[in-house]
């Protein structure tokens, strides 16, 4: 099962990065440790979205909702019930996947843009519930100071927890994409009509993809609760969904790790440029315009292509695997 | 094996298929001919479930498959190729065929097992039998037009069909490629006991290969018979069939 992983060319680099990240808290200031935890959470969220967008060509425009559902479920269970903390953290992703199944069942009947539009509408309903139901969710104030167990309450503790959960999720996503399920999903992305003609139930396959993606979105949601200790309706607002969509495009939506890079760039930009000006989204807009003109397949997608082209010249033929 | 009775399909006011009849027996090579716009492709889309008929019956071994979706029809043993090369351009040639083999083996939903290790022998065998084995690592989108068409047939073969439906398998091919492809189709039919239903523009090809020919015009079946009888009939109906 893990053989596939070890054969990857980038395996060594990934392990080296992982070890450096494990050591990071011993030499980086606390603020940067916190910032990196936020990047991991956002990267996991963007990666889960990219299962739909990049690998399945499903325009999941309002993926942030499932992040919010995961966070709210975990947060509310931690605050309002006396259930053990780990039940709350497991319930978050499950609730997100269930919401994904419900919304997906309606959206999957539509194609491409219409899928996305219906997704925004149904997702906004869930946002409205979180925003309006004061008694349960605290309305637009949200809930702050959510109690998490001691070992993940400190900045370093939450950093390690987020790092390890994120890495496990990324491994799972990688294995899923290399499995027959993932292979078939990419075939559906390329040509759904042909897939139906070889006996694949396209809608069914896409729905399972949405459930998997929303589950991982929910995992990102509970990690947010661990890092920030709070929940608020902005987690489910459509602007966040748009932001993670941009991360996928920026990093390279047909690549595996592209969204991680996209998330790192945008979160850093928001943090550092955001301290100088509240109009940091202006810079984001400029980046987006440049992206569309010069790197339509994202940073990592473009680099791979160039490497690919030079290799073609060298071998005199296409090599893809 | 396949019986089509009085099939109708209209798009708004345009009657694409307007009374088609067809009978395909097991092991036969059956051709559908007719001028452009006669409704051949629509007929194939109706059989394979891409379209649903307005009226009439499509019987596969006495079961009406007219209202079933494409993936269910495929699992009943009908595989097809499309008129325009319909492949997975971003995947390698190997993975193009593997997708349908995995589907046939009901492994498409398998998670957490590397696809690279599954259905390898079966996929290689199919690629070998159509002569694409040496190009298996190429990106499907980079193949020549002729190879793309053959890859299409290979994808359909991955489903181990009993009935293979080919929509103009040699469209856009050079004369040599056409000869090779038709030889390949005949060989597949003979080796694997396949039943093949195809439509084709090139009359030389049709009369050289088919055991039974169905002639369509303006959505209607004019005649279905053995090539000799149809040829005589065609001469009578030169006006209908044009310059063929």
| Residues of A with Cβ-Cβ distance to B113 under 8 angstroms | 1, 179-180
User: Do residues B28 and B211 lie in contact, with contact meaning Cβ atoms separated by under 8 Å?
Assistant: yes
Say which residues have a Cβ less than 8 Å from residue B209's Cβ, sequence separation at least 6: B29, B31, B182, B185, B186
Question: pLDDT (tens digit, 9 = 90+) per residue, A145-166?
Answer: 888 888 888 889 999 999 999 9
Is the pLDDT confidence value at A253 over 50?
yes
Q: What span, in angstroms and rounded, lies between the C-alpha atoms of A293 and B199?
A: 44
Q: What span, in angstroms and rounded, lies between the C-alpha atoms of A71 and A102?
A: 18
| Burial class of residue A294 (count of CB atoms within 10 Å of its CB; 0-12, 13-18, 19+) | exposed
Which of A3, A176, A191 shows the shortest C-beta gap to B86? A191
Per-residue pLDDT averaged across A102-124, rounded? Answer: 90
Q: What span, in angstroms and rounded, lies between the C-alpha atoms of A210 and A231?
A: 24
With CA atoms as reference, report the closest residue to A63 among A244, A232, A220.
A244
Rg over alpha carbons for chain B, rounded to the nearest Å, is 18
pLDDT at A309: 55
Residue range(s) occupied by CATH 3.40.50.300 in chain B:
1-77+162-244
Which of A180, A191, A253, A308 should one mutate to test binding to chain B, selecting the residue with the greatest count of B CBs within 10 A? A180
pLDDT at A12: 86
> Which residue of chain A has the CA closest to B92?
A320
- Which residues of B93-191 form beta strands (DSSP E)? 163-167
CA atoms lying within 13 Å on the CB side of residue B158: 36
Sign of CA dihedral B9, B11, B12, B17: negative
Strand-pair partners of B60: B2, B63
With CA atoms as reference, report the closest residue to A281 among A236, A219, A239, A229.
A239
User: Do residues A248 and A51 lie in contact, with contact meaning Cβ atoms separated by under 8 Å?
Assistant: no
Q: Does B139 touch chain A (CB under 8 A)?
A: yes
With CA atoms as reference, report the closest residue to B39 among B59, B22, B26.
B22
CA distance A36 to chain B (A): 29
Is the pLDDT confidence value at A206 over 80?
yes
Ranges in chain B, pLDDT < 70: 234-244
pLDDT at A303: 54
* pLDDT band for position A308 (cuts 50, 70, 90): low
Q: What span, in angstroms and rounded, lies between the C-alpha atoms of A312 and A297?
A: 19
Report residue A193: phi and psi, to 5°.
-65, -45
Is the pLDDT confidence value at A312 over 50?
no
Which residue carries 């009939």 as its tokens?
A: B233
Residue A57 tokens, joined: 């060509």
Strand-pair partners of B220: B217
CA distance B235 to chain A (A): 37
Strand-pair partners of B63: B60
pLDDT at A311: 45
| Residues of A with Cβ-Cβ distance to B92 under 8 angstroms | 320-321
Q: Does A201 touch chain B (CB under 8 A)?
A: yes
Is the pLDDT confidence value at A306 over 80?
no
Which of B74, B94, B114 shows the shortest C-beta gap to A198? B74
CB contact under 8 A, A197 and B114: no
Is the pLDDT confidence value at A6 over 80?
no
Is the pLDDT confidence value at A317 over 50?
no
Q: What span, in angstroms and rounded, lies between the C-alpha atoms of A263 and A43?
A: 5
CA B179 to chain centre: 17
Q: What is the pTM of this model?
A: 0.87
Which residue carries 């992983």 as its tokens?
A: A5
Q: What span, in angstroms and rounded, lies between the C-alpha atoms of A93 and A98?
A: 9
Considering only residues B232 and A89, tell me which one the structure prediction assigns the higher pLDDT: A89
- Write down the mean pLDDT value for chain A: 87
> Which residue of chain A has the CA closest to B157?
A198
Q: What span, in angstroms and rounded, lies between the C-alpha atoms of A125 and A196?
A: 33
Considering only residues A133 and A65, tell me which one the structure prediction assigns the higher pLDDT: A65
pLDDT at B242: 55
pLDDT at A1: 59
Q: Does A200 touch chain B (CB under 8 A)?
A: yes
* pLDDT band for position A76 (cuts 50, 70, 90): very high
CB contact under 8 A, A179 and B99: no
Q: What span, in angstroms and rounded, lies between the C-alpha atoms of B210 and B216?
A: 15
Q: What span, in angstroms and rounded, lies between the C-alpha atoms of A218 and A95?
A: 8
CB contact under 8 A, A180 and B48: no
Is the pLDDT confidence value at A315 over 80?
no
Lowest mean pLDDT among A82-91, A229-238, B111-120: B111-120
pLDDT at B227: 82
For domain B1-77+162-244, give the fold.
Rossmann fold (3.40.50)
User: Do residues B81 and B167 lie in contact, with contact meaning Cβ atoms separated by under 8 Å?
Assistant: yes
With CA atoms as reference, report the closest residue to B26 among B77, B100, B64, B72.
B77
């Amino acid at each position: 099962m893990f053989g596939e992983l070890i054969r990857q060319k980038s395996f060594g680099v990934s392990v080296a990065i992982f070890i450096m990240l494990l050591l990071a808290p011993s030499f980086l200031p606390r603020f940067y440790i916190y910032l990196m935890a936020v990047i991991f959470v956002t990267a996991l969220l963007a990666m889960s979205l990219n299962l739909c967008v990049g690998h399945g060509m499903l325009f999941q425009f309002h993926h942030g909702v499932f992040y919010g559902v995961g966070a709210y479920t975990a947060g509310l269970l931690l605050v309002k019930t006396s259930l053990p903390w780990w039940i709350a953290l497991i319930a978050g992703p499950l609730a997100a996947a269930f919401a994904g199944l419900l919304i997906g069942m309606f959206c999957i009947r539509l194609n491409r843009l219409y899928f996305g539009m219906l997704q925004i509408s149904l997702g906004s309903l869930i946002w409205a519930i979180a925003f309006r139901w004061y008694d349960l969710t605290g309305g637009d104030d949200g809930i702050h100071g959510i109690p998490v167990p001691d070992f993940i309450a400190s900045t370093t503790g939450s950093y390690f927890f987020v790092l390890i959960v994120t890495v496990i999720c990324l491994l799972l996503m990688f294995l899923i994409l290399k499995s027959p399920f993932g292979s078939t999903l990419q075939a559906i992305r390329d040509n759904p009509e042909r897939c139906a003609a070889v006996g694949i139930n396209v809608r069914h396959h896409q729905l399972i993809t949405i459930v998997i993606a929303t589950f991982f979105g929910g995992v990102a949601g509970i990690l947010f609760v661990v890092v920030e200790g709070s929940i608020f309706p902005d987690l489910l607002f459509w602007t966040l969904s748009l932001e993670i969509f941009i991360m996928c495009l920026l990093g390279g939506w047909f690549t595996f790790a592209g969204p991680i890079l996209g998330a790192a760039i945008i979160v850093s930009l928001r943090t550092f440029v955001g301290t100088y000006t509240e109009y940091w989204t202006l810079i984001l807009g400029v980046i987006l315009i440049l992206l569309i003109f010069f790197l339509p397949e994202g940073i990592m997608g473009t680099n791979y292509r160039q490497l690919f082209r030079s290799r073609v010249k060298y071998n005199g033929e296409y090599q893809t695997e | 094996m396949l019986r089509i009775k009085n099939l109708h399909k209209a798009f708004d006011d345009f009657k694409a298929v307007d009374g088609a009849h067809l009978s395909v027996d097991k092991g036969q090579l059956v051709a559908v001919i007719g001028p452009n716009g006669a409704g051949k492709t629509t007929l194939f889309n109706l059989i394979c479930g891409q379209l649903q008929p307005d009226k009439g019956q499509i019987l596969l071994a006495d079961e009406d498959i007219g209202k079933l979706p494409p993936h269910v029809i495929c699992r009943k043993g009908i595989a097809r190729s499309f008129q325009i090369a319909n492949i997975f351009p971003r995947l390698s040639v190997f993975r193009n065929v593997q997708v349908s083999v995995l589907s046939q083996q009901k492994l498409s939903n398998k998670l957490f097992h590397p696809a690279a290790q599954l259905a390898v022998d079966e996929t290689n065998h199919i690629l070998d039998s159509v002569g694409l084995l040496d190009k298996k690592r190429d990106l499907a989108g980079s193949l020549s037009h002729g190879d793309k068409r053959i890859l299409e047939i290979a994808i359909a073969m991955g489903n181990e069909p009993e009935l293979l439906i080919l929509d103009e398998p040699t469209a856009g091919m050079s004369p040599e490629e056409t000869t090779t492809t038709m030889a390949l189709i005949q060989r597949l039919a003979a080796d694997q006991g396949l039943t093949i239903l195809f439509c084709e523009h090139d009359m030389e090809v049709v009369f050289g290969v088919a055991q039974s020919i169905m002639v369509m015009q303006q959505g209607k079946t004019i005649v279905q018979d053995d090539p000799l009888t149809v040829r005589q009939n065609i001469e009578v109906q030169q006006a209908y069939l044009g310059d063929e």
